[in-house]
Structure formats: C-alpha cells, structure tokens
C-alpha cells in the first residue's frame, strides 16, 4: 500500500544531516553536540599521524587542557598550546601542507580564551573563507534530500508499513523528497547566518573589540553567541522591514475589500471616523504608519476613544535617527564611568541601524547602582522620548490598553508615548519589573508585555481601545530589576539580561561632577554656580561613601553643598 501522508521534517534532523558536511573550523563552531575531550583526543591522533615529531607536544597539550578548573587562561596550557602550534605552523610552511595549518587552527579553537585577540585574528580569515564555501553545499541538497527520502522509505518498507509501491507511493516519495529539500534549504540558511556571525565575531575580537562576556569563555563557544549579538541589529532590521511591507500590503488589501463592499451597498453617509487607508499618503522614508485607521462606533464612547490621538491616527510618525554613537558613548561614560561595558552592550544594537531601536533588555543590579538613571540618560542622548512605567504601582494589564467597552478605555501605553513625543520609536522603561504584582484578577503586567516584546506580534498588536492592529515594532524596551529569578519563563525568554555594575571608591572623582550638575539642575541653576568640591570636602565624602549606592553618594554631595551654603556670609 502507498504511504498515506508525508512526515514533516524537523529542523534538528535537517541540521544534523548538514553539520558533518561543513568545513572543519565552522563545523566545530556550529556543532553544539561537540564533545571537547573526544575532539581533543581525535585531534591529537591526527597530529601524530600527520606530524609524528609533534606527537609529544600534542600529548603535553592534552595533559594541560585536562586539568581541573578553568584552564583557558592557565599558563601551562598557554605554553603547551604555543609550542604545539609553532611546530604545526612550521611543518605547514616547510612541507607546504595546509592540513597542518588547519590542525593548528583547531588547537586555537579548542584551547583559547574568548578574550585572546591574537587567536581571534588568526581565525578570522580562515572562517570567512569557509563561509564562502558554504554556497557550494546548495547544489548538493537535492541529491542529499533524495538519498535521505529513499532511505526513509526503505526503513518503512522493511518495517512492514509499506508492502508495495504503486503510483500513490511514487507521489508520496516525491513529496517526501520535496519536504527534505525544503528542510535542508532552511537549515543551510540558518547555518550560513550562524557561520557569518562566527566570522564577524572573530574579526571584531581580532580588531580589539572588548566584551566582558567572552573573557573566560572557550573561543569555540564564544564566537557564535558573540557574533549573533553583533549582527542581531542587522537581522532584526531586515525582518522588521519585511514585516512592515507585508502588514502595509495586508492593510491595503483589507481596505480595498471594505471599499468594494461599501460601494456595492451605496452608503448614504459616514459616522465621522478617521480617514480611510486609501486617503493616506504614502509613508515617507524614515517614518512609520503606526495606526492606519480607527473604526468609530457612532456612540459618545466610540468617538472619544481617539480624542487626543489625532496626530498619530492615519498619519506617518517620524522615526528618531541613530545619532553619532561615539559621541553618545563618550557622554554616557562621563556620567557612568563604572558602566562602560554595559553602555557598550546596549549601544551595539544601534551599529549600522539608521533609526534607534534597542533590543528588549533588563538591567540587573543592586539597588541604587543607577539603572533607571542610565536608561533615562540613554533616552536623552539618543533623542528618544522616555515613557516610564513603575511596575510596583501599575496594576493589572493596563500597559497593554483597556477595552473600548469600558468607561476607563484607553490605548496601550506605547501609543500614549508616541502621542506625547510624536515619534514612532519611543523608549519604554519598565522600572522594578521584578516587583510587579502577581495577582491575576485584572491581568498581570508581565503577561501584557509578552505580545509587545515579540517582534512579529508587536508589528500587528491588537489595541483593545482602538480595536485595530497597530505597529509597535520599532519601540525600545528597557527594564530594571534587582534580580530576574521571580520573572516568569516566557518573559525572561524575550528579555536580554545585562548586568549593571556597582560604582566603587576609585570612581568617586569621576562621579562628583555629573552629580553636582544634577544638584544644580534640581535647583534651577547653571552647573557653573556650583564649584567643584574642595580637597577637604572630597575627603569627607570619601570617608562616608565606600562605593555602592549612587543615591547615598548624591545625598552626601547635597549635604556638603548645603553645609557650604550655610557657611557663606549673609548679605
């Protein structure tokens, strides 16, 4: 009998079939099932067969890499690795054997730290060469899919699931081959993206890019993750662009269908709603149509729900452009000298992006370390309007909007932020997200955030007050928390966790100037009216502040300023 259906090919099965076909260096980087001990032993055996004179050095390398603890920065391993690589590189040059050079590169991958600039620079060019070779695999996919489909059918026939192959069986076999071809093409596309990310990471690290998260990590494991962080902004921009085009096309088609129905019904009048999509001007470059139209119900409540939002309904909103990131970083580093690594991780999202959109992130740190202040200053320097939501006070799911059927109907908070700041990419700050209420009587803030943090659903978010789909895909979401342990799993999956360090005593001099400027601003004065602290005042503050909370340091500076003013002669 013929097969009644074609099984769906999983991504994991297609990926497992392609990984062994990848070039050697990329295969090591992209294979999450790679066993380090087995890989090192196999590599030592290959070295002994190709370069017998290097076999003792390979044994010494294996012994050093097998030590307990974190061996990647162990001097013994560094010496053993250096000696073995020198022998292999010399053999490659003397005998003109590229295979020896490839073995040396594998030694680098399997025993180097992610912060080793020389190791990353060595691997960058070979990885880019192997990335270019991946295009050749596409020509082999059809044959590979056919062989795998034939193998699957052979297994099912042997197990008694098919006793004969008639015309229907031939059709099922062809469909099975097509399914394998489609799955392999998708797997190759994903592997190509990961391979490019690994090559980008090697190039960036080799050029001196600093990242605290790759230090202490094995280079083999660090390249793909770090590269995906570097290229996330570009991938996200491309996905958002395609999603925006599709949504605009769907909206235009839906409106044309509505117009045809209205024309056939010959309506006598309208209820005075917002302009239809056909009357909207084309969205200019650097703008986004957030709310195409709002269908009015004719009642007082229906008319009032859009009152105050006329500037964003049916009108493209501008997108705040990405400013000079070097200037932004320099300005933020003056105010937060202890958090330059955190600043760099956040600003990396904007590299190569024409408009400022940050990846959904939660800043985790101890109380008073300046998390909320950093978000506020980032919004200021990027030119993004800031909308702050206090998670400890925002009850229920009101952040996602309240339904039009109720007297308290209001759009989601993002639309409020857009209407206030007149931009389509404001920055939303969820302060103290870990302390949000957990009762579900009126919904939870955590649950309301899920659809707005996911790029695909955010691009067509169903606002309950406007009762139409709105585009929130270009909004930046930053949250603060003391810990993420209390956050539900689906929310943690959508948020990147970035550590916010604590200022220490050696940062005191750098912190005093921006704190004095803030004290002057709170009093409506120019910063020039508050001179810098004298040596005695600085010593007094240093004795009372041993690092930690910026709030405490600010209070100390305010106390010093107040004491200074009380000591001035009165006129």
pLDDT mean over 188-197 = 88
pLDDT at 157 over 90: no
pLDDT mean over 16-31 = 88
Average pLDDT, the chain: 81
36-50 and 98-111 helices cross at what angle (nearest 10)? Answer: 150
SS3 assignment, position 468: strand
320-358: pLDDT as tens digits: 999 999 999 999 988 888 888 899 989 988 988 889 999
Residue 167: the pLDDT is: 45
List all residues 6 or more positions away from 94 whose beta carbon is below 8 Å from its beta carbon.
none
Number of Cβ within 10 Å of residue 192's Cβ equals 16
Residue 135: the pLDDT is: 84
pLDDT mean over 433-461 = 85
Number of Cβ within 10 Å of residue 416's Cβ equals 18
Token pair recorded at residue 194: 């990961």
Q: What angle do CA 328, 339, 366 make, to 5 degrees?
A: 135
Confidence bin at 485 (pLDDT 50/70/90) = confident
Distance between CA atoms of residues 58 and 52, nearest Å: 10
58-67: pLDDT as tens digits: 898 888 887 7
Q: What is the DSSP string of 379-425?
A: HHHHTPPEEEEETTT--TTGGG-B-TTSTT-B--HHHHHHHHHT-SS
Confidence bin at 443 (pLDDT 50/70/90) = confident
Strand pairing category for 427-431 and 317-318: unpaired
Residue 69: the pLDDT is: 52
Instruction: Return the H-helix or E-strand segment holding 180.
Output: helix 167-206
Partnered with residue 498 across adjacent β-strands are 363
Q: How many residues does the chain have?
A: 571
Distance of CA 36 to the CA centre of its chain: 28
Q: What is the DSSP string of 339-369?
A: GHHHHHHHHGGGTT-SB--PPPEEEE--TTS
73-121: pLDDT as tens digits: 678 888 888 999 999 989 888 888 888 898 989 998 888 888 888 888 8
Q: Is the dihedral of CA 311, 317, 323, 329 positive or negative?
A: positive
Instruction: Return the H-helix or E-strand segment holding 95.
Output: helix 75-95
pLDDT mean over 227-243 = 68
246-301: pLDDT as tens digits: 667 767 777 777 777 767 664 444 444 445 444 444 788 889 999 888 876 655 45
Distance between CA atoms of residues 379 and 479, nearest Å: 13
Distance between CA atoms of residues 496 and 85, nearest Å: 37
Token pair recorded at residue 216: 């202490």
Residue 208: the pLDDT is: 81
Residue 170: the pLDDT is: 56
Confidence bin at 379 (pLDDT 50/70/90) = very high
List all residues 6 or more positions away from 485 whose beta carbon is below 8 Å from its beta carbon.
434
Lowest mean pLDDT across 249-253, 413-417, 512-516? 249-253
Confidence bin at 423 (pLDDT 50/70/90) = very high
Where do the domains of the chain lie, and which CATH numbers do they carry?
A: 11-225 (no CATH), 325-499 (3.40.50.300), 505-566 (no CATH)
């Amino acid at each position: 009998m013929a097969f009644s259906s074609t099984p769906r090919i999983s991504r994991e099965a297609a990926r497992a079939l392609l990984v062994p076909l990848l070039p050697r260096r990329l295969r090591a980087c992209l294979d999450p099932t790679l066993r380090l001990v087995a890989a090192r032993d196999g590599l030592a055996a290959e070295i002994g067969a190709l370069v017998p004179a290097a076999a003792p050095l390979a044994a010494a390398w294996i012994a050093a890499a097998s030590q307990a603890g974190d061996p990647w920065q162990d001097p013994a391993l560094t010496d053993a690795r250096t000696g073995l690589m020198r022998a292999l590189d010399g053999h490659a040059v003397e005998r003109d054997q590229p295979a020896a050079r490839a073995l040396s590169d594998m030694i680098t991958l399997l025993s180097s730290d992610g912060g080793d600039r020389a190791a990353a620079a060595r691997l960058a060019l070979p990885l880019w060469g192997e990335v270019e070779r991946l295009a050749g695999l596409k020509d082999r996919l059809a044959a590979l899919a056919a062989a795998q489909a034939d193998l699957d059918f052979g297994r099912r026939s042997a197990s008694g699931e098919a006793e004969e192959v008639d015309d229907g069986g031939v059709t099922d076999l062809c469909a099975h081959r097509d399914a394998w071809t489609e799955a392999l093409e998708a797997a190759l596309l994903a592997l190509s993206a990961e391979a490019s990310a690994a090559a980008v990471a090697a190039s960036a690290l080799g050029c001196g890019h600093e990242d605290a998260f790759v230090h202490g990590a094995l280079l083999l494991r660090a390249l793909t993750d770090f590269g995906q962080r570097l290229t996330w902004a570009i991938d996200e921009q491309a996905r958002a662009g395609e999603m925006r085009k599709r949504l605009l096309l769907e909206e235009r088609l839906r409106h044309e269908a509505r117009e045809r129905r209205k024309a056939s019904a010959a309506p006598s009048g309208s209820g005075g709603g917002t302009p239809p999509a056909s009357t909207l001007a084309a969205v200019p470059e650097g703008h986004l149509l957030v709310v195409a139209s709002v269908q009015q119900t004719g009642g007082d409540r229906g008319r009032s729900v859009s009152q105050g939002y006329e500037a964003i309904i049916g009108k493209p909103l501008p997108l705040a452009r990405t400013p000079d990131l070097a200037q932004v970083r320099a300005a933020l580093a003056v105010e937060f000298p202890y958090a330059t690594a955190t600043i760099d991780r956040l600003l990396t999202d904007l590299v190569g992006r024409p408009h400022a959109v940050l990846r959904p992130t939660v800043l985790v740190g101890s109380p008073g370390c300046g998390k909320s202040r950093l978000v506020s200053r980032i919004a200021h320097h990027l030119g993004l309007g800031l909308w702050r939501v206090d998670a400890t006070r925002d009850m229920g799911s009101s952040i996602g909007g309240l339904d039009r059927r109720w007297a308290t109907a209001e759009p989601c908070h993002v639309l409020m932020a857009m209407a206030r700041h007149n931009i389509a990419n404001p920055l939303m700050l969820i302060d103290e997200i870990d302390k949000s209420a957990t009762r579900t009587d009126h919904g939870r803030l955590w649950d309301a955030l899920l659809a707005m943090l996911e790029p695909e659903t955010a691009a067509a978010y169903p606002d309950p007050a406007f009762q139409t789909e709105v585009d929130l895909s270009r909004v930046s979401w930053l949250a603060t928390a003391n810990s993420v342990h209390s956050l539900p799993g689906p929310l943690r999956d959508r948020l990147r966790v970035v550590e916010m360090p604590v200022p220490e005593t050696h940062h005191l001099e750098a912190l005093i100037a921006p704190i004095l400027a803030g004290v002057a601003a709170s009093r409506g004065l120019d910063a020039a009216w508050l001179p810098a602290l004298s040596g005695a005042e600085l010593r007094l503050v240093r004795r009372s502040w041993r690092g930690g909370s910026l709030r405490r340091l600010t209070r100390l500076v305010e106390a010093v300023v107040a004491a200074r003013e009380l000591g001035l002669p009165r006129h």
